Amino acid sequence: MKSRTAAAMGSGKVEKKQNARQNPRNNRKPLGPKSDIPKSKSKKKKKTKNNNNHQNDTDPIETKNKTTVVTGNNSNNARPPPATPRQQLSYFLSQFQSANGVQLSSLELESIKDSCILDVSQESGQDVMRLEKYIKEAFGAKWKEELCEGKLIGGKTEAGSPAVLVVATSALRSIELLRGMRSFTKECCAVKLFSKHMKIDEQQVSLLKNRVNIASGTPSRIKKLIDIEALGLSRLSLILLDIHTDVKGYSLLTLPQVRDEFWDLYKNYFHQQVVQGDLRICLYGPIPNGNEFKVKSLELADG
């Protein structure tokens, strides 16, 4: 009996060993309390990994939002659209009233139409060579007769009376603007009206005693020549005002001394012609866009 029992027990051990070999899971050691710690750590690591993955998923959204903000700022700093003739006129008259401390009457405002503005706002850059196109269009079918003819016509043309007058802040800028009208000055030279290297007597005697179609100069010298009746205004149809800013940010309408000289010239010799519709204004340069056009006192009539 004992031998049989021992044999049976022995065979049971063999079966258990064989079962352990056949089923590898039985070979695993039971996990004790110490083994729970690394398990929990591994879970924490997994969570951390998942959190990182979640953060990475949100990163593109944040980057996208930042990019959108930058793009928005760029669009805010983008170049504004060109000012319309009405906006240009409103800006010019508001500057006139502010600089001279005057208030235009409703009758004057009704008389000044948008059509008095020669619109070159599409060419607000520094390429003066494009000016010819607009000036030619302003004179219509008579552009050759008014801008290119070199001979005085008795009873029709007064000596020293230009059809186009360019007003700039300096002598150098006056010369530069004349480059944009070279095709008009082959038979009749343009006249330079500024004080640099030129005396009034020289200009009066040698230049303004002949036919003049186009003249360019600074406000102070132009007014002096009109005052002494050397420069005539009987043919004047267009004044081109260069309002481009210099390196310091000043322009014809903002540079203190030159600004005062220009408004003195305009008030005394040009404003009434504008009101009567006999003179057009060309603002050559970028016009400030925004609140400066919202002038309560200016209720401009339709052009």
Position 273 in a domain? yes
Q: Mean pLDDT in the chain?
A: 77
pLDDT digits (tens, 9 = 90+) for 175-215: 999 998 999 998 898 999 988 767 777 666 678 989 999 99
Position 80 in a domain? no
Strand partners, 167: 217, 241
The mean per-residue pLDDT over the stretch 245-249 comes to: 89
The mean per-residue pLDDT over the stretch 16-29 comes to: 52
Q: Quote the CA–CA distance of 139 and 136 in Å, as a whole number.
A: 6
Position 78 in a domain? no
With a cut of 70, say whether residue 228 has pLDDT above it: yes
Q: Quote the CA–CA distance of 207 and 184 in Å, as a whole number.
A: 17
Position 53 in a domain? no
pLDDT digits (tens, 9 = 90+) for 127-143: 788 889 999 999 999 99
Q: Quote the CA–CA distance of 84 and 117 in Å, as a whole number.
A: 10
Domain of residue 248 covers: 85-284
Position 219 in a domain? yes
Position 62 in a domain? no
Query: What's the domain count of the chain?
Result: 1
Position 63 in a domain? no
How far apart are the two ends of the chain, measured CA to CA in Å? 132
With a cut of 50, say whether residue 298 has pLDDT above it: no
Position 52 in a domain? no
Tell me what pLDDT residue 200 has: 76
Q: Please, are residues 292 and 97 in contact by the beta-carbon 8 Å criterion?
A: no
3-class SS letters over 198-235 = CCHHHHHHHHCCCCCCEEEECHHHHHHHHHCCCCCCCC
Calculated CA dihedral for residues 123, 126, 261, 291, nearest 10 degrees: 50
Q: Quote the CA–CA distance of 146 and 143 in Å, as a whole number.
A: 5
Bridge-based pairing of strands 191-193 and 280-284 is unpaired
Kindly report the CATH number assigned to the domain that includes residue 196.
Answer: 3.40.50.300
- pLDDT: which is higher, 125 or 196: 196
Q: Quote the CA–CA distance of 14 and 23 in Å, as a whole number.
A: 14
Q: Find how far residue 162's CA is from the centre of its chain.
A: 32
Minimum mean pLDDT among 5-14, 104-113, 246-255, 268-277: which range? 5-14
